[in-house]
Structures are given as C-alpha cells and as structure tokens.
Amino acid sequence: MMRLIAAIVVLTLVAIGAGALAGLHLFAAAERVADAKKTATPPPLASSYAGSARLRKLSPIVTNLAAPANNWARVEASMVTESMSDEDAGILAAHISEDIVTYLRSATVTQFEGARGLQHLRDDLTERANIRSSGKVRELIIETLVIQ
C-alpha cells in the first residue's frame, strides 16, 4: 500500500514538473511571437487602381427630389479617373454633376432607404458617370448624402 502511495506521489510530482516546463516553453514562444509582431512592418496596402488613376473631387450638389416635393438632397462625391488633363477633368466633372442633378430630381426618398438603396444609388451614378466619360471614370465615390 505504501509503495502505491509513493508511486502516485512520484508520478504527481513528475506531472507537475512536466506541466510547468511545458507552460514556461509556451509562454516564451508567445513572447517571441508578440515581439516579432511589434517589430514587423505591415505590408503596404495594395490599391485596386493603376498608378495613373486620380481621385477628383466634385463640387457639392444640392437639388430637390421628385417626391415629396419639399425634400432636398445634398451630395458630395469624388470620381476616380484615368490620367487626363485638368481642363478635361473639370469639364467631365461638370457633366457628371449635371447627370447627378438630373438623376436626383427624378428620384424619391424611398429609393435611398437602407444599405441596399444607397448601394443602388452608388451603382447607378457610377454607371452614368462611366457612360458619360466613355469609360474614363472608374468609380464614383459618394462621400456624403444628406436628405432633408
């Protein structure tokens, strides 16, 4: 009986020692990983646009909506374009702004409700800008949309 108790005590001490060594080893490995993450430089963010793409801000657009008649919309947007002269970009921005005004005047407030409505607005305006520019506008980014 004494031998059995002694064997259990010895095995318990061996298990405690092995657990302590394993814990210390895991703790040291975790510290090494944390230190490596602190000193590592993050990879540069990859752009989905080529080097010739430029972001051009449009003038704020304020117009009334089709229904209800007393609602107004204010849109601030930017367009991602191919490389072009500033004069051509200014003319293109004016035409795209006119298209946005025309689109908003024919729209109702309910069309812009929720995330889906905002996504449809963004897609429609991007498609109009792309058609107007003959493919020179890659994307129209809606920065703010306020409806009163």
DSSP letters, the chain, are -HHHHHHHHHHHHHHHHHHHHHHHHHHHHHHHHHHHHHHSPPPPPPPSS-TT-EEEEPPPEEEE-SBSTT-EEEEEEEEEE-S--HHHHHHHHHHHHHHHHHHHHT-BGGGG-HHHHHHHHHHHHHHHHHHHTTT-EEEEEEEEEEE-
Residue 114 pLDDT > 80, yes or no?
yes
Output the pLDDT for position 50.
Answer: 65
Task: Answer whether residue 121 shows pLDDT above 80.
Answer: yes
The pLDDT of residue 142: 94
pTM as predicted: 0.66
What is the residue-averaged pLDDT of the chain?
Answer: 90
| Domain map (residue ranges) of the chain | 1-41, 53-147
pLDDT at 64: 93
pLDDT tops 80 at residue 124: yes
Query: For domain 53-147, which architecture applies?
Result: 2-Layer Sandwich (3.30)
* Residue 78: per-residue pLDDT: 94
- 19 pLDDT above the threshold of 80: yes
Summarised one tens digit per residue, pLDDT across range 30-62 is: 999 988 888 877 777 666 666 778 889 999 999
